[in-house]
Chains A and B, each alone.
Chain A
Amino acid sequence: MIKRVIEFSEALRTARVPVSLLESLDACTALMSCDISDRGAVKAYLASTLIKDHSHQKVFDNLFEVFFSPGTYEYGGPLDVQNRGSDERGESFEDIADAELREKIKESLLSGNDSQLQSLIASAVSRFAGMEPGRPVGGVYYAFKTLRHLDLDTLKSSLFNARVEQLESSDSLGLKLLNHDVDLALEKVRKMVSDDIRRRIVSDRGADAVARTMRSTLPEDIDFLHANAEELREINRALTPLVRKLASRLGRRRRKGHRGTLDFRKTIRRSIANGGVPVDLIFHKPKPGKPELFVVADISGSVASFARFTLSMVYALSEQFSKVRSFVFIDEIDEVTDIFETSDEIDAAMKLVSTKAKVVWTDGHSDYGRVMESFAERWGEEITHKTSVIFLGDARNNYHSSKAHALASVRMKARAVYWLNPEPSGYWDTGDSIMTQYGLYCDSVNECRNLRQLQSFVERLL
């Protein structure tokens, strides 16, 4: 058991969840001093001792399924016997027809009979997934095959119809709620299928091997450029608390700051209360300089999501700046400050930007050179020694000319010029990327592939 916990902590660390020695010791002590026959309780014990941040929960859940799934690990408690019992009961579903299996799944979803559903799913997996021992295929492939055979769309509509009949009032709200319920039920089926498959893969290959191949990334570490829709949502969820923390930390830092000069007037006024003895010295509050920010973002397809996250972070922190102006471009540049300032939803704003802003000049392929020139020409006058300019983009210029002299003229006027590139630094200057040509005129060029890097950049900026 101890060994298992140590291995588990090790796997968590590999996924960049910080687990200290003390914490894994705590986990061991917890399991030794408590009854561990109940899997739910074991999970709660491990989670409360090892995980100290909710954003790590998902990684923990995945790895927990791998390391402590019934069948791969013997608990030797009463519940485990029950579990195995239900697996055996599952055998009885082996010889029914496919259609009947689907029907039975529907029934147990309707009646809420989870243990029956579990064995039905297990039998569906052994029937449809076509798993071959030792074959190095990820669980996703098997899950896909199983779900395709289960035909969730049909299941959904039949579930829906069955429930509609029970419904008394049938206004549109009722139907919508029902739809939501049915979606939840299907989500449950999907989860059961993938859990079941994972269990089988683990017992075939061993927990360590599976943990190694499993992609378990914290939201902060997800690559902007390669994130799928689900991961983008995850980044989005992680963004809000992150920004809030950042804002409160920066605010605190500002408030504390260094003491200013003596406020003579207030000190004298206060001293009257003490008979003219200046007991409390009052100092001027320092006025921290708030930088002015120009954000210039490439919003062409390849880097659009990166621009979106960076802009939403900048706007969430806009209190920290005296002014934020934003510009977007593809092969033409346009100012979109108004759009962001008037809408409080970043997604709505992004949508408006893509319809309203004039960012396409000829072919809709990024042309940094043209944009640089145009930016320097149209807004160059407004850049002062207080302005920090941040460029967001991959500097892939589609083999146009770089016109780096325009950037140089911006650099002359501005307080600082930064470049955030969402590509790994190893890829810079390969193909049509001309990062170094622009980098010459930037105060720093930063690789910015995930939230972690973005956050550390913003912190340095202020």
Chain B
Amino acid sequence: MGQFRFSSPAQVGEMLAGVGYLPSVEISSVLFLADRLKKPVLVEGPAGTGKTELAKSAAKALGARLIRLQCHEGIDESKALYEWNYKKQLLHIQSDRTGSSWSEVEANIFSEEFLLERPLLQAIRAVDSVVLLIDEVDRVEIETEALLLEVLSDYQVSIPELGTIVANQVPLVFLTSNNTRELSEALKRRCLFLFLDYPDKEREMEIVLSKVPGVSRALADSIVSFVGSLRDLDLKKRPSISETLDWALTLVSLGLDEVDESVVKSTLNVLLKYRSDMAKASKAILSS
């Protein structure tokens, strides 16, 4: 404890860039702050802007193990925190024919050996450095959120049979949300909030240039401005960064080096996933 992972926001930026994630100033500042204040980061934003990728890259940059809890409706303690291995416990009791007293048996079966660690407990008990990713936290019920609160505010877990387990170290925690429902105030209060929007033109160009081999600067420029102009339209699903990259890859592998109308027409389905969106885009951008 007492040591910090990062020395400055600029260093965060360099470390992330080192593993192929190009952060904006906000991203590196918030990560830096999360480390200083030992607070989890709640990442929100449209789909495909690199929310999960951020956590993965942070883990990679720090050389830490990534522990991921994928949330879904109906997730509970036994899937998020810990569970007792009932079957093994049963077998143990059956095989124990020495006639030991109940209190001995009880002490035996509620011990480390029979504990199944789930992601949250794993992250708390880890001795090596870890990054905890709680993905799509907006999918859990409000009641389950309370469970996260204890873990995220005190970095401890209470197991009735074993007592309270306190973290050896405060892991870097990311929560991602697609904003399908309002998270509870209590959870939001405890987190730093980071909104990942579509990147600005310069940053997206850098991303395309670094992720797509063989793309020329001129092509990247027109790709990014075309996608940018699509995002200004009122679409059902705006093209995300990953779709920009897909499109760039498509163009490069087709051996094209400029964006013109016929290219756009034949490859628009890579960027847009709804028919009504495609019709709208063709009408707005391609004059026929």
Contacts and interface: CB of A to CB of B under 8 A. Distances in A.
Contacts of A30: 33, 36-37
Interface string B89-114: 00000000000000000000000000
A18 to B, nearest CB: 8
B115 interface: no
A29 interface: yes
Interface stretch (B154-162, B166-174, B209-217, B255-263): B255-263
B26 A47 contact: yes
A184 B193 CA distance: 28
A248 B181 CA distance: 7
Interface string B15-40: 00000000001100110110011010
Contacts, number: 107
Contact of A44 (B26, B36, B181, B185): B26
A180 B9 CA distance: 33
A456 interface: no
A41 interface: yes
Contacts of B287: 172, 176
B180 A45 contact: no
B71 interface: no
Interface in A222-252: 241, 244-245, 248-249, 252
B169 to A, nearest CB: 19
A35 B8 contact: yes
Q: Which 3 A-B pairs have the closest CB atoms?
A: A44-B29, A52-B188, A48-B192
A345 B276 contact: yes
B174 to A, nearest CB: 13
Contacts of A168: 258
Given A48-B193, A177-B226, A248-B180, A171 B260 contact: yes
Interface stretch (A20-28, A204-212, A302-310): A20-28
Interface string B259-288: 111001000000000001000000001110
A241 B181 CA distance: 9
B193 A51 contact: yes
A44 B189 CA distance: 16
Given A44-B25, A180-B232, A33 B285 contact: no
21 contacts: A18-B185, A26-B39, A26-B192, A30-B36, A30-B37, A35-B8, A45-B29, A47-B193, A48-B193, A171-B260, A171-B261, A172-B286, A172-B287, A173-B259, A173-B286, A180-B228, A180-B232, A245-B180, A249-B181, A344-B276, A347-B234
A173 B285 contact: yes
B225 A177 contact: yes
A169 interface: yes
A96 interface: no
A184 B232 CA distance: 11
B33 A48 contact: yes
Contact of A241 (B179, B188, B195, B276): B179
B61 to A, nearest CB: 18
A108 to B, nearest CB: 16
A41 B30 CA distance: 8
Interface string A250-281: 00100000000000000000000000000000
A272 to B, nearest CB: 23
Contact of B181 (A23, A45, A184, A245): A245
Contacts of A248: 180-181
Residue among B29, B276, B287 with most chain A CB within 10 A: B29
A20 B261 contact: no
A30 B39 CA distance: 11
A40 interface: yes
Contacts of A217: none
A57 interface: yes
Nearest to A54: B195
A52 B29 contact: no
A461 interface: no
A52 B42 contact: yes
Contacts of A252: 141, 181
A49 interface: yes
B33 A34 contact: yes
Interface string A155-193: 000000000000011011110110011001000000000
Nearest to A39: B25
B250 interface: no
A246 to B, nearest CB: 9
B281 to A, nearest CB: 11
Contacts of B185: 18, 20
A114 to B, nearest CB: 11
A50 to B, nearest CB: 8
A45 B225 CA distance: 30
Contact of B264 (A44, A173, A184): A173
B25 A34 contact: no
A135 B210 CA distance: 52
B260 A169 contact: yes
